[in-house]
Amino acid sequence: MKSFKTFVIASALILAVSGCKVEKPADTDGHDLWFHNLEQVSDATPASYTTEAIAQNEIDRFWKGKAAVEIKVLDKQDDALGRDGYRLVFSSGKVSVEANTAIGTLYGVYGLLRLQQTDALPKGSKTITEVPAYEYRAFNHWDNLNRSVERGYAGKSLWNWDELPDKVSPVYQEYARANASVGINATAINNVNANAQILTPEYLQKVKVLADIFRPYGLKVFLSLNFAAPKHIGGLDTSDPLDPKVVQFWKDKTAEIYALIPDFGGYLVKANSEGQSGPQDYGRTHADGANMLADALAPYGGVVFWRAFVYDAQAEDRAMQASDEFVPLDGQFRDNVLVQVKNGPIDFQPREPISPLFGQAPKTNLMLEVQITQEYLGHSKHMVYLHPLWKECLDTDTYEFGKGSTVAAVTEGKYRDNKLSAISGVTNIGDDANWCGHQMAQINWYAYGRMAWNPDLSSDEIADEWLRQTFSSDPKFLKPVKDMLNRSREVNVSYEMPLGLHHIMASNAHFGPGPWETSYRKDWSPQFYHKAGPDGVGFDRTVATGSGATAQYNEPLASTYDNIETCPENLLLWFHHVPWDYKMKDGQTLWNELCHTYQKGIEAAEEYVRIWEKAEPYVDNQRYQEVRTKLIRQAKDAMWWRDAVILYFQTFSNMPIPDDCYPAQHTLEELQQVGVFRRPQMPQGGARPQGTPQMPRQPRPEIYDMLPDYTLPSMPEL
Ligand code: GCV
């Protein structure tokens, strides 16, 4: 015993003398993103506002190496590098950053600083060549002109339209810099549910100011269009894309925009979807609409991102509609049109199969749209690292051009002559001090940019880079926190919608569970998507007995999904209606598998808190506390999801929750009241009698404030 004590004291002394005690980092609100571990972050403004000056300034301030850095635009074009690629040539005492263009060198500078910040600089001579996979690496903001953000959970829109064009927030440049540092080069700054006002001269002056700030960072502005703009702001009585007056309106508008913004990127369009107007209002096709805009943009080199997110209440299966509408148009779009397809066939659920359209339109420039904001994955309340979700889609084989024609390969344009390629992500950014609402959600901004540059990077590599730059490189911090992030998407699936369940969230805010809900539109009803009944649960999309959606995939995907025996279990209830007592591969019944999967999700979310508490010495107090509070909340939300879904399904399965799962803490009836927004009661008799004052409108309570209370084993109180 004595010798043990001596050992402990001696070890403590050695640790103290060798300085191994971790020094607590200074508090930060997280505003400096992944530039956190660079010094002098706040003063990043160069003397002159050109790409060249910015690149030099970043090196002058932040390069800590002994080797001299030379930034060089090549005299002779190197075709292998394209417009944005770069080469880092490390030789003794020197690093050369080479590219065909100034913007290429700026990407190279950020690449070099990233290697420095992640302890990955080569030891000896080496050449590193980096070329982005996609030409357009785009952001989509769903920001409205009144500064609200559709599905935004990080405060108001960054764009202060009332102050622009006269007053310019420093945040605009910080935003452009952050984007450039990860290679994002295009940004559609307004909501796809677009207000035509943005195309008026008054607003275009404001947009021009933003474009001028973004330009040296290589960031092109796009605008989301309201297809009815000719009627709304052009004084026309139609917006028919084949009407010559309408064609002229868009030609003139486009010329007006390019006169102000010579490098304007183009238009993003949501047409004939969720109430937006579009060419179908006039009996025209999506191709007619997109091509008319494409022709207006072509003389300036602009492009159209035309969204394929379309569905209507009449369709038997919403999951099939994008393909039903767009496959017949394959080959009809102009070269400068890209059809923008969401990763899955419904709508950014925690897990979906790929959209079948990726494998069905060989003559169309297809681009992938992912969601960075967490509309269905816990908003900015839950820590979910999304790269594994996006990567799962990119790596899925469409088999369109034989084995290996993955979504990544198809969208990168590997099978097309037209090399125009793009990817887009719906942002999670607002005016919150930490930009994303949740400190850990910054990783999704970072990861989106890195993935758009290089879809081959693994989730682990990207998480590693981000954590080292944003928090700490200490292995005691890095390993557990990285593991936690890497698991977090699967954990979210487990506690929200496992085994292929989808669209069973509460429909008021898309936050929290609502499997019992119905809507006047079946395609918005959770009950339509899970179809739970005494005979089982899940959406039959097979050819023989269901909607036939499996047939929209190429072989061997089609028959793999169609056959209940071969369908991957993580998509089982997406494609099949399955009896509660169905035997799963591990021998459990479906019911028990569901219960245990939810249970695992809850336990993993609880575990986050313990992991984070161990990481405390490596994280400043402010960010530590913020994240810890949210993680506790996340674990309780996981319980809430489980109770709601399982108690509701139990009314059909009549099976018990297994003993090794947590017992329910609330009744189904209690949970069904959460988030139900009741109107103030009318006086007896229904209608308001004449002369009585109108009832005051009650502010809707925030769904977040209505969370049922939960206690969890080993879980601290909030
Ligand atoms: C911008 C989902 C969202 C909508 C969004 C739409 C879209 O339906 O809930 O808020 O609208 O997708 O992607 O257009």
Q: What is the 3-state secondary structure (H, E, C) of 29-88?
A: CCCCHHHCCCCCCCCCCCCCCCHHHHHHHHHHHHCCCCCEEEEEECCCCCHHHCCCCEEE
325 sits in which H/E element: helix 321-326
Q: Of all protein residues, whose CA lies closest to atom 8 belonging to ligand 1?
A: 347
Reply yes or no on whether 562 is catalytic.
no
What distance in angstroms lies between residue 220's CA and the mean position of ligand 1's atoms? 23
More confident residue, 566 or 508: 566
Q: Of all protein residues, whose CA lies closest to atom 11 belonging to ligand 1?
A: 193
What distance in angstroms lies between residue 142's CA and the mean position of ligand 1's atoms? 9
β-bridge mates for residue 536, sequence order = 533
Q: Which two tokens stand for residue 523?
A: 């395609």
Query: Could you identify the atom of ligand 1 that is nearest to the CA of residue 270?
Result: 14
**pLDDT for the residue numbered 503:** 98
| pLDDT of 40 over the 60 cut | no
**What is the Cα–Cα distance from 706 to 687, expressed in whole angstroms?**
30
| pLDDT of 13 over the 80 cut | no
**What is the Cα–Cα distance from 97 to 55, expressed in whole angstroms?**
10
**What is the Cα–Cα distance from 240 to 228, expressed in whole angstroms?**
9
**What is the Cα–Cα distance from 380 to 151, expressed in whole angstroms?**
10
| pLDDT of 44 over the 60 cut | no
Lowest mean pLDDT among 35-44, 646-655, 657-666: 35-44
- Report residue 714's pLDDT band, with 50, 70 and 90 as the boundaries: low
- C-beta neighbour count of 100 within 10 angstroms: 21
**What is the Cα–Cα distance from 668 to 647, expressed in whole angstroms?**
6
- The whole-chain average pLDDT of the chain stands at 93
| pLDDT of 314 over the 90 cut | no
Helix, strand, or coil here: 388?
helix
Mutation pick for ligand 1 pocket among 142, 310, 428 (CB with most ligand atoms within 8 Å)? 142
Helix, strand, or coil here: 480?
helix
What distance in angstroms lies between residue 355's CA and the mean position of ligand 1's atoms? 16
Active-site annotation holder among 84, 130, 375, 432: 375
Lowest mean pLDDT among 216-220, 223-227, 696-700: 696-700
Q: Which of 129, 110, 112, 131 is nearest to 121 (CA)?
A: 112
Lowest mean pLDDT among 24-38, 56-70, 163-177, 685-699: 685-699
| pLDDT of 348 over the 80 cut | yes
Residue 676 carries which DSSP code? Answer: -
**pLDDT for the residue numbered 704:** 81
Structural contact between residues 357 and 323, judged by C-beta atoms closer than 8 angstroms: yes
Distances (CA, A) of 299 to 42, 262, 303, 336, 365: 41, 12, 10, 11, 19
**What is the Cα–Cα distance from 515 to 526, expressed in whole angstroms?**
5
What distance in angstroms lies between residue 308's CA and the mean position of ligand 1's atoms? 12
- C-beta neighbour count of 555 within 10 angstroms: 9
Reply yes or no on whether 23 is catalytic.
no
Q: Which two tokens stand for residue 530?
A: 């899970």
Q: Which two tokens stand for residue 233?
A: 């702001």
Q: Of all protein residues, whose CA lies closest to atom 12 belonging to ligand 1?
A: 347
β-bridge mates for residue 683, sequence order = none
Active-site annotation holder among 27, 162, 252, 274: 274
Reply yes or no on whether 702 is catalytic.
no
Burial 37-60 (b: 16+ CB within 10 A, else e): bbeebeebebeeeebbebbbbbbe
Helix, strand, or coil here: 612?
helix
More confident residue, 700 or 495: 495
| pLDDT of 711 over the 90 cut | no
Query: Could you identify the atom of ligand 1 that is nearest to the CA of residue 276?
Result: 14
Please compute the mean of the pLDDT values over residues 15-33 and round it to a whole number: 74
Q: Which two tokens stand for residue 545?
A: 């007995």
**What is the Cα–Cα distance from 470 to 447, expressed in whole angstroms?**
13
**pLDDT for the residue numbered 485:** 98
Please compute the mean of the pLDDT values over residues 395-402 and round it to a whole number: 98
Mutation pick for ligand 1 pocket among 347, 349, 355, 368 (CB with most ligand atoms within 8 Å)? 347
> Before 556, cis peptide (omega within 30)?
yes
**pLDDT for the residue numbered 366:** 98
Please compute the mean of the pLDDT values over residues 682-711 and round it to a whole number: 62
What distance in angstroms lies between residue 560's CA and the mean position of ligand 1's atoms? 30
Pocket of ligand 1 (CB under 6 A): 142, 150-151, 192-193, 270, 274, 309, 347, 375
**pLDDT for the residue numbered 188:** 99
Residue 96: phi and psi, rounded to 5, are -110, 130
Taking CA 175 as the corner, what is the angle to CA 173 and CA 179, rounded to the nearest 5 degrees? Answer: 115
| pLDDT of 687 over the 60 cut | no
- C-beta neighbour count of 291 within 10 angstroms: 23
Mutation pick for ligand 1 pocket among 190, 192, 274 (CB with most ligand atoms within 8 Å)? 274
Active-site annotation holder among 347, 465, 496, 593: 347
Q: Which two tokens stand for residue 68?
A: 């001299």
Query: Could you identify the atom of ligand 1 that is nearest to the CA of residue 192?
Result: 1
| pLDDT of 342 over the 80 cut | yes
- C-beta neighbour count of 313 within 10 angstroms: 11
Q: What is the pLDDT of residues 234-279, one digit of tens each?
A: 999 999 999 999 999 999 999 999 999 999 999 999 999 999 999 9
Query: Could you identify the atom of ligand 1 that is nearest to the CA of residue 369?
Result: 13
Q: Which of 514, 504, 565 is nearest to 539 (CA)?
A: 504
What distance in angstroms lies between residue 141's CA and the mean position of ligand 1's atoms? 12
**pLDDT for the residue numbered 691:** 56
**pLDDT for the residue numbered 508:** 83
Helix, strand, or coil here: 671?
helix
Helix, strand, or coil here: 300?
helix
Question: Strand 337-342 to strand 266-269: parallel, antiparallel, or no bridges (unpaired)?
Answer: unpaired
| pLDDT of 9 over the 80 cut | no
Query: Could you identify the atom of ligand 1 that is nearest to the CA of residue 191?
Result: 1
**What is the Cα–Cα distance from 71 to 69, expressed in whole angstroms?**
7
| pLDDT of 433 over the 80 cut | yes
Please compute the mean of the pLDDT values over residues 453-481 and round it to a whole number: 98
Structural contact between residues 677 and 508, judged by C-beta atoms closer than 8 angstroms: yes
What distance in angstroms lies between residue 602's CA and the mean position of ligand 1's atoms? 28
| pLDDT of 718 over the 90 cut | no
Q: Is 113 left (phi over 0), alpha (psi -120 to 50) or beta?
A: alpha
Please compute the mean of the pLDDT values over residues 669-677 and round it to a whole number: 84
What distance in angstroms lies between residue 558's CA and the mean position of ligand 1's atoms? 28
**What is the Cα–Cα distance from 657 to 594, expressed in whole angstroms?**
10
Q: Of all protein residues, whose CA lies closest to atom 7 belonging to ligand 1?
A: 309
Counting residues of the chain whose pLDDT is more than 70, the rounded percentage is 91
**pLDDT for the residue numbered 693:** 52
Counting residues of the chain whose pLDDT is more than 90, the rounded percentage is 86
Residue type, 366: L
What distance in angstroms lies between residue 427's CA and the mean position of ligand 1's atoms? 13
Query: Could you identify the atom of ligand 1 that is nearest to the CA of residue 193?
Result: 1
Query: Could you identify the atom of ligand 1 that is nearest to the CA of residue 371?
Result: 13
> Before 165, cis peptide (omega within 30)?
yes
- Report residue 701's pLDDT band, with 50, 70 and 90 as the boundaries: low
